[in-house]
Chains A and B, each alone.
Chain A
Amino acid sequence: MNIHAIRVIYKYEMKRAFNTIGQSFASPILSTVLYFVVFGSAIGSRIDNIHGISYGYFIVPGLMMLAILTQSLSNASFGIFFPRFTGQIFEILSAPVTTFEIVVGYVGAAATKSLIIGLLILITANFFVEIHIAHPLWMVLFLLLTCMSFSLLGFIIGLWAKDFEKLQIVPLLVITPLVFLGGTFYSIDMLPPAWQTVSWFNPVVYLVSGFRWSFFEVSDVNIWLSLMMISVFMLICLSIAWWMIRTGYRLKQ
């Protein structure tokens, strides 16, 4: 295995994040703080407890997921799209690197950045509410699976997009609505029955629910179903990313 190649791709991508620390880390944390202030403190104080949990605390896993999903997508998609856009991708294509090594380098870096953001948000949330995690290992597992699977999805978008508009269109028009309608700020059983039925088709519901369970032992969906859904989603993304690199889809003419 070309460990040196994985290392330099990973290092390059991580360095890019630390060179733009404000955009990469400060901005998502600030957004989350604002969510806490507005939804947790201002509005949350007027909302009843959900499943016996204060609203401010209830939204912590959802807010972490919101930041992780959006950051995984944007980091991974930009990471591979930019060298395609500038033509620098020739270096990767002409190097002795396998599909696996390319994916590990780019997706691994994007997932690491998201993981750091997720943990920073958890630390930030601790200033607003007292955090108690019921199942820390499950939390870490869900966090890792989510970071990796959505970074894979971002990587796919970065390979697929032909221009900057397309790079933004999937996260903005598809992923953001799915995240907001995925139970980030509420429990699915708070929705009218028809919308509850629609929600079961939203993959983000399973993520947020499973992640929330690791905090409070309260979930909308069975934990094993959540785990299965995120694993299946990750395998699908992995297969598509592998196929794209292997065939040179939108990389090689």
Chain B
Amino acid sequence: MQSIVTISNLSKTYEGGFQALKNVSLDIQQGEILALLGPNGAGKTTLISIICGIVNATSGSVMVDGYDNTQDYLITRECIGLVPQELTLGAFEKIWDSMCFSRGLFGKKHDSAYIEKILKDLSLWDKKDAIIMSLSGGMKRRLLIAKALVHEPKILFLDEPTAGVDVELRKDMWVLVERLRESGVTIILTTHYIEEAEAIADRVGVINNGELLLVDEKDALMHKLGKRQLVIELDRPFESTKRFDNYNLELSEDGFAITYTYDPLKDNNGIDGLIKSVQETGLKIIDMHSIKTSLEEIFVNLVKGENSQ
């Protein structure tokens, strides 16, 4: 796939001396959904802000669709839509006027039909004449997305788009993001909800302390860094003997369940032998289920590991 954003050795040190980004390099592929995960203060927003032209980089470069984002900023900014983290909207403006403002600002001719379509897509059409201050937090979030889309960008940055919104709206947004991707828009989102990244991202990047720890396909990442566990529930408490030493089993508090961690990629993952051994002890297996490591656990382990270094 072709890169649409190329970030090379990007660093940012703020006036107070805080280094928000340390030599970050990243290629964002055209048409993908990239989720940037990281704890508060990791540098996610700084990275997005530099690409969009809101923050000046200390060093490094950003190429958007083949153009440098500082020298050819008029071209690069036309391609980008940004939904900021904060609900930064005018208070007394009408939704319709706000949309017209955003479209004009990006040099696009007024197009009532297109604005209507975007507002309808985001369930804001009924509120088009409402004053922004009268909207709920979720509606304001939708409006920010609508404003970011109104100039038909090729790349959309969503900085914590679902922070503080209810589950229903969050799911609606996932559907919208998927629809945008289908229309060819490249989407980069930062999120605290790791389930969000797990649900919609193609690739996942993890940032901590201004460093990009890794970027990988979501499925490959979960495959590489994730683990599988098999939980076996028994009719009587389990008593370990020498034959189980190799399995490194975890015992539940009441002793009625054992947990076996295995590598799903191995042909001989030991499950067969374990079940046979359990049955040979005379224990009856009541239930069995496997657990897959979530992206959240992978993320927490990565960040924890980085912080302890």
Contacts and interface: CB of A to CB of B under 8 A. Distances in A.
A9 B15 contact: no
Nearest to B86: A87
A90 B84 CA distance: 8
B262 interface: no
B78 interface: yes
A95 B55 contact: no
| Contact count band on A | 20 to 34
B55 A88 contact: no
Given A2-B107, A8-B105, A98 B74 contact: yes
Contacts of A15: 97
B54 A95 contact: no
Contacts of A92: 105
B56 interface: yes
Contact of A91 (B56, B75, B105, B109): B105
A229 interface: no
Contacts, number: 74
Contacts of B188: none
B88 A90 contact: yes
B136 to A, nearest CB: 18
Contact of B82 (A4, A5, A19, A90): A90
B123 interface: no
B109 A4 contact: yes
B88 A88 contact: yes
Contact of B73 (A8, A9, A91, A96): A96
Nearest to A93: B54
Nearest to A94: B52
B212 interface: no
Interface string A17-29: 0010000000000
Contacts of A2: 74, 107
A94 B108 contact: no
B51 to A, nearest CB: 9
In this complex, which of B75, B88, B89, B108 has the most chain A Cβ atoms within 10 angstroms of its Cβ?
B88
Interface string A96-111: 1110000000000000
B25 to A, nearest CB: 22
B100 interface: yes
A135 B91 CA distance: 45
B16 to A, nearest CB: 10
Contact of A93 (B53, B86, B101, B110): B53
Contacts of A97: 105
Given A95-B77, A96-B77, A253-B14, A5 B107 contact: yes
B54 A5 contact: no
Interface string B39-55: 00000000000001111
Nearest to B80: A94
Interface string B60-101: 000000000000011101101010101011111000010011
B147 interface: yes
B295 to A, nearest CB: 29
Contacts of B105: 4-5, 8-9, 91-92, 95, 97
B264 interface: no
B30 interface: no
A7 to B, nearest CB: 6
B108 A4 contact: yes
Interface of B: 14-15, 52-56, 73-75, 77-78, 80, 82, 84, 86, 88-92, 97, 100-110, 147
26 contacts: A4-B103, A4-B104, A4-B107, A4-B108, A5-B104, A5-B105, A7-B104, A8-B100, A8-B104, A8-B105, A9-B105, A12-B97, A15-B97, A87-B88, A88-B90, A90-B52, A90-B54, A91-B105, A92-B105, A96-B75, A96-B77, A97-B105, A248-B56, A252-B53, A252-B54, A253-B56
Interface of A: 2, 4-5, 7-9, 12, 15, 19, 86-88, 90-98, 248, 252-253
Question: Which 6 A-B pairs give the minimum distances between C-beta atoms?
Answer: A8-B104, A87-B88, A96-B77, A4-B104, A95-B105, A96-B74
